[in-house]
């Protein structure tokens, strides 16, 4: 099955605990099929099906204490 891919640049993640928090919260969104966090690159890679609400995703990330700096 084909999934869309979106890469979001996020600042403030420094450890595996940070990455896990972001992954766990974003995986709860129905259209998101996988989440991969790259601490080295400060990126969150999303694979999803359908429409992705980037405003909602940015809010989740900022509520966790991190900053979305690029999409």
Looking at residue 52, what is its pLDDT? 93
Q: pLDDT tens for residues 8-61?
A: 999 999 999 999 999 999 999 999 999 999 999 999 999 999 999 999 999 999
DSSP, collapsed to helix, strand or coil, labels residue 60 as helix
pLDDT band, very low/low/confident/very high, at 71 (cuts 50, 70, 90): confident
Q: List, as one string, the DSSP characters of 2-51.
A: --EEEEEEEES--SHHHHHHHHHHHHTSTTEEEEEEETTTTEEEEEESS-
Give the range of the structural domain holding residue 36, as residue numbers without chain letter.
4-70
Looking at residue 59, what is its pLDDT? 97
Looking at residue 70, what is its pLDDT? 84
The number of folded domains in the chain is 1
What CATH number did the domain enclosing 17 receive?
3.30.70.100
Looking at residue 12, what is its pLDDT? 97
15/46 Cα distance (integer angstroms): 19
18/13 Cα distance (integer angstroms): 5
């Amino acid at each position: 099955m084909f999934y869309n891919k979106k890469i979001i640049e996020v600042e403030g993640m420094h450890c595996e605990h940070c990455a896990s928090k972001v992954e766990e919260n974003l995986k709860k969104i129905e259209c998101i099929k996988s989440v991969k966090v790259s601490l080295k690159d400060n990126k969150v890679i999303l694979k999803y099906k359908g429409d992705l609400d980037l405003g909602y995703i940015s809010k989740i990330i900022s509520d966790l204490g991190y900053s979305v700096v690029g999409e």
